[in-house]
Structure 1
C-alpha cells in the first residue's frame, strides 16, 4: 500500500506506516542497523543537550572572555530560552510539509554554520544571535534524537524509546559540567566552540551514513499558522526575558512590568485566534481540559522543585568557594544518578500507573531538600553526593511517565493534537526551569538580606568576642599595614565578607527548606490522588489506552 505524500519509490507495509505525517516510517531493521540508530541517536541527544549545558556550566567564563556584565550574561541565557520554548510549533509542521530528510539537513547545516561562525567572530551581539539560533537547533536535534532512538527499538517498545530519546539530552546537562574543566584547562573559551564544532561534524557524518526512513508528507501550513506564531512566539519570548532578568535586575524594574503585560496581550491574542479556527495549531479546547491543565501544572511544578539542584546546591557550593575543578566528582555522581533514573524509568514504565513514579520523585526531592537544610561553611561536595544523587534520579525518573501520559492523551484524540501537546510540554519544561530559578533565586536574595541584617545587628563593638575577631582579621595585614586604625578597618571589611557568606549559606538553607515543604505538599497531593484511584479501582488513561489499541487494530487490518 502506497502512502500519500511518501517518497514515490517506497512502499509502506501497514505496520510500517508512520505514526503521523512528518515522522519517519518504522520498518523492521536488522540488529546491526538498530545499534547504529541507537548510537547516532545518543550522539544527537547529547549534542542537543550540550548546546545549553555548556552555556550554563561556563557562563561566568564566557562573560569574562567577552567582558560582559551580569545583566548581559543573563541575556545570553534568555536568548536560548526565548527561541527554544515554542519552536516545536513550527518544526513539526515543517517536517510534515517538507519531510524528515530536509528537516535533518536544515538542522545540522544550521548548527554547522553557527559553530564555524563562532570560531571566527567574537562579540556580544554575535553571541546573542548564536544563542538565540542555538535554541532553535537544540529543539531540532532533540527531535532527531527521538526518531533515531525509536528506530532502534522493536515495535512493542517504541513508546519507551521515546522516553529514552527525551532523556538523552537531560544526561548532557550534568555531563557538561564534568567535561568543562578539561575543555577550559588553559582558560580559553574557544575550546568550547571547537568541541561543539567537532560534535556537529560527528552528527553530520552519522546522519549521512544512516538516514532515517522516509516519511509521509502533507500540506501542513495554513496562513493563520504564521499569524499565531507571530503573536505567540514574541509573547513567550517576553515572558522568558522577564523570568530570567527579574532576579538579576530585580522585579521592580519598570520594563519588566511592561514586558509581562506585553507577553499576556500577545499570548492572549494568539490563543483567541486559535480558539476560533477550524483547524487550529494550538487546540485551546483540549489544552483547557482539566486533565491537560493538571498535566501542565505537575510538569512545570516538578521543574520548579528540581531547581533545588540547578540553583540551590550549585549556588551553595559556589558560596563556600568551590570552583569547577573541585566539582568534577560531584557532577560525575549527578550524571550517574541521572543515567540510573533513566534506566529505572524505562524498566518500571507502566502505562496504567504513570502517577506513581511522579509521586516517588516528589518524595525523593522532599527528603533530599530536608537533608540539605543544615549546610554550613564547612559543607563540601562529598557531603551532598547522596542528596543530589536523589534529586538527579528524580529529575529523570518522573520525566518518562509524565511525557508518556501526555502523549497517550494526545494520540487518543488524534495525531493533530501532537502539535498542541509538544508545545505544551516544551513550554512547561522551559518555564518551569527558568521560573524555578527565578523563584528560588529571588527567595534566596530576600532571605540573605534578612540574615545579613540579623547577623550585623548581633555584632557589637563592645562585645569582647567581636573585638577579638576584628583584631585577628586585621592581623593578617600586620606585615603590610603599620597603622593600627587601617588594620582595624581592613579587619572590618573581612568580617563583613564573612557575615555575607554566612548570610548566604543560611539563605540557601531556607531555599532547601522551602523546596522540601513544596515537594512534601506535592507528594501528599499525588499520594491522595493515587490512593483514590487504587481504592476506586480506576485506571487512569484507561480510555486513552483502549482508543489507541482500537486505532492500532484498524491500522493493522
Structure 2
C-alpha cells in the first residue's frame, strides 16, 4: 500500500471550502469540529459522484504505483531482464514521484485548482498511453519516469475530491478517513487484478487497464469541477531552486532505497555517490530556506519537538505497514505462491482495510486520537505475533485472520495522526500547512521506501544467519542426514545408477529445503520484530499520555478573579 496524499498550504484548499479556514481559529487549538446540520454540502447524488471520482482517482494512482512492484518476476520475463534490471522500473517511477507533490501544492495555488486538475489528468492519460506502447526495457524506464511525474497529482486530486462534498465539520474526520482509505486499497487491489491481466496480455494487459482507468478519471475530472480558491502568486525563483535541490536529493534517496538491497548497500559504488549527492542537495536547500524571509519550508518549525514527535509516529506507521507489503507477500513468494494463488488473502486485506477505514470515519473526532492509536497498535502487534509462527507448511488461509487484524490496525492509525498534525499546524497559522505537508509526504514516501528496504535487508541478513546455523549440522555421515538424503533420492534411484551422483543430487535437494526453511525463519523474525516495534510504540504512547496527564495535574490552577 502505498497511502500518500497531499493537502494544500491554504486551509481553504485543504477543506475544499473557504469556510474551513474560519472554522479553525489560528490562535487556539479547536477542541472539536464545528457543528453542522448535515454531513455534506451538496445533494446526496452529487456527493456520491464526487466520492466515486475520488475512489476512481485513488485506484488509478494506486494501481499505477503497484503495477510493476507487484509483478516484478513476470515483467522481467517479458523484457528478458534480471530482477535487478526490472526493479529499475520501480526506481524510475519513484524517483520523481517522491517529491513532485511539494511543487504541485504551489502550482495549483498559482494557476488555479481547476486548471491544475484538468492539465494533471491530461498528462496522466498521455503517460498511460505511452506506457501501453512500451515494448523494451530502456523505453519502459523512460516512460515509467514520466509516469511517476504524471501520477504525482493523482493522490492529491483523490484527496480533494473526497473532501469536496463534506461539510467543514466532517472534512477532517469522515472525509479524511475515507480519503486515506481510498488511497490505501490500491496495493491489494493491484495484486488481485493483475494475474488475470497478465494472462490476457502480459505487460500490455497491465498497461491497458491503467490506460482505461486514466480515461475514466479524465472524464470524471472534467464533469465534476472542484471548488477553486482564489489564485495567488506564490512561486518565486528561490522556491524553484529549493525544490530542484529537494527533488534531486529525494530522488537519489528513492533510487538507493529501491535498489540498494539488490546491488547490496556496501558493494555498488554508485550507491555512495547518490547518497552524497542527496546530502549535499538537501543540506543546500535547508541553508537556502533558513535564510529566507518567506521560506518554502520552515526548517525551525520542522525540527521542533512536537513536529519531530509527529514525524516519528508516522515513521513507525510506515515501518509497521511493511508487515504486509514485505512480510506476508514475501513469505508466500518464498513458499512458491504467486499472486493468482493469493487473491483470497489480498481480498481479505482489502475488505479489512475498508472496514477499518469506515469504522475510523464513524468514530474519529478530536480527542480520540490516543484511543484509536492504542487500538491500532494492539491490532498490528497481535496480527504480527500470530504471523511469527509460520512454517514451510503454512497456507494463505492460515493468515487470513492475522492479516485482517493488521489491515484494520493500519487503516485506523493514519487518519487520527494526520488530523492531529494538521490541527497542530493550523493552530500556528495557515502558513504552516505546507511545512506540515512536507513532514507527511516525507514520512509516507521516503519513509515507506526506507521501511520496505530495512525489512527486506533484515530478512536477507537473518536468512543468512539461519542458513549458516542449519547447514552447520548437515554432515552426510550423520545417520539422520543420510536417511533424509536417501528419502529425497528414492524417486531417482531407478533412473540414476551412479551412487555418487545420486548422493550429490540428494544433498542439493536437502540444501534447497534448508534454504527455504531459513527463509521462513527469517520472515518469522520480521513478524516478531514488527510485533515488538508495535508494542514499543504502544509503550511510548502510554508513557507520553501518562506524562501529559501528570503535567496537567501538577500545573498551577489559574487564579480566580477577585469579585
TM over 0.5: yes
Instruction: Return the alpha-carbon distance in structure 2 between the equivalents of residues 318 and 537 of structure 1.
Output: 51
State the partner residue of 1:242: 256
Instruction: Return the alpha-carbon distance in structure 1 between the equivalents of residues 428 and 546 of structure 2.
Output: 27
State the partner residue of 2:29: none
State the partner residue of 1:233: 247
Instruction: Return the alpha-carbon distance in structure 1 between the equivalents of residues 530 and 536 of structure 2.
Output: 10
- Cα deviation digits, residues 27-57 of structure 1 (max 9, x gap): 9422322121111111111111111123222
Aligned match of 1:156 in 147, 163, 169?
Answer: 169
Structure 1 stretch displaced more, 77-86 or 437-446: 77-86
State the partner residue of 1:3: none
- Cα deviation digits, residues 291-317 of structure 1 (max 9, x gap): 111111110121112211111111111
8 Å contact from structure 2 (residues 17, 164) kept in 1: no
> 1:166: how far off?
2.6
8 Å contact from structure 1 (residues 89, 281) kept in 2: no
Q: 1:384 to 1:27 in 2, by over 3 A?
A: closer
> 1:17: how far off?
8.1
Instruction: Return the alpha-carbon distance in structure 2 between the equivalents of residues 525 and 79 of structure 1.
Output: 37
Matches within 5 A, 1:130-529: 130-160=143-173, 161-186=175-200, 188-253=202-267, 254-529=269-544
Pick 1 or 2: higher relative contact order, CA cutoff 8 A, min separation 6.
2
The number of residue pairs the alignment matches comes to 522
> 1:520: how far off?
1.3
Instruction: Return the alpha-carbon distance in structure 2 between the equivalents of residues 134 and 166 of structure 1.
Output: 22
> 1:472: how far off?
2.1
8 Å contact from structure 1 (residues 88, 423) kept in 2: no
SS at 1:398 equivalent: helix
Instruction: Give the TM-score normalised by structure 1.
Output: 0.89
> 1:537: how far off?
5.0
Aligned match of 2:104 in 76, 91, 98?
Answer: 91
SS at 1:189 equivalent: helix
Alpha carbon RMSD of aligned pairs, Å? 2.2
- Cα deviation digits, residues 179-235 of structure 1 (max 9, x gap): 122222346221111101110111111112222233310111010011101211111
State the partner residue of 1:61: 74
Q: 1:194 to 1:273 in 2, by over 3 A?
A: same
Q: Give 4+ residue runs of structure 1 displaced > 6 Å after superposition.
A: 16-20
Instruction: Return the alpha-carbon distance in structure 1 between the equivalents of residues 211 and 467 of structure 2.
Output: 46
Q: 1:169 to 1:536 in 2, by over 3 A?
A: same
> 1:522: how far off?
0.9
8 Å contact from structure 1 (residues 283, 420) kept in 2: yes
Q: 1:505 to 1:440 in 2, by over 3 A?
A: same
Instruction: Return the alpha-carbon distance in structure 1 between the equivalents of residues 219 and 490 of structure 2.
Output: 62
User: 1:122 aligned to 2:114?
Assistant: no
Instruction: Give the TM-score normalised by structure 2.
Output: 0.88
8 Å contact from structure 2 (residues 59, 185) kept in 1: yes
Instruction: Return the alpha-carbon distance in structure 1 between the equivalents of residues 297 and 178 of structure 2.
Output: 26
Q: 1:410 to 1:131 in 2, by over 3 A?
A: farther
